[in-house]
Structure 1
Amino acid sequence: MKKTHGDSVTQKEGQVTLSEGDFLFINCTYSTTGYPTLFWYVQYPGEGPQLLFQVTTANNKGKNRGFEALYDKGTTSFHLEKASVQESDSAVYYCALSDTVAETTGGAEHKV
Structure 2
Amino acid sequence: MNSSPGFVTVVLLSHFLSLGRTYGDSVTQTEGPVTIPERESLTINCTYSTTWTPTLFWYVQYPGEGPQLLLKALKDKEKGSHKGFEATYDSKSTSFHLEKPSVQASDSAVYYCALSDTVTGTAGGAEHKL
1:4-54 per-residue CA deviation (whole Å, 9 max, x = no partner) reads: 322110102421111110100001000011110000000000100000011
- Pick from 60, 79, 98 the counterpart of residue 116 of structure 2: 98
Percent identity of the aligned residues? 68
Alignment check: 8 A CA contact 1:13 1:27 kept: no
- The one-letter code matched in structure 1 to 2:115 is L
Match of 2:105 in 1: 87
Match of 1:108 in 2: none
**Larger helix proportion, structure 1 or 2?**
2
Q: Take 1:64 and 1:7, find their aligned partners in 2: how far apart are those partners?
A: 27
Read off the aligned partner of 1:53 and give its amino acid letter. Answer: L
Structural RMSD (CA): 1.9
1:56 has 2:74 as partner:
yes
Alignment partners' CA distance in 2, 1:74 and 1:17: 30
1:65-84 → structure 2 map (5 Å cutoff): 65-84=83-102
Which TM-score applies when normalising by structure 1? 0.85
Which residues of structure 2 form unaligned runs of 5+? 1-13
Q: Which runs of 5+ in 1 are unaligned?
A: 104-112
Q: Quick check: which has more Rg, 1 or 2?
A: 2
State the SS of the aligned residue for 2:32: coil
Q: Give aligned pairs, total.
A: 103
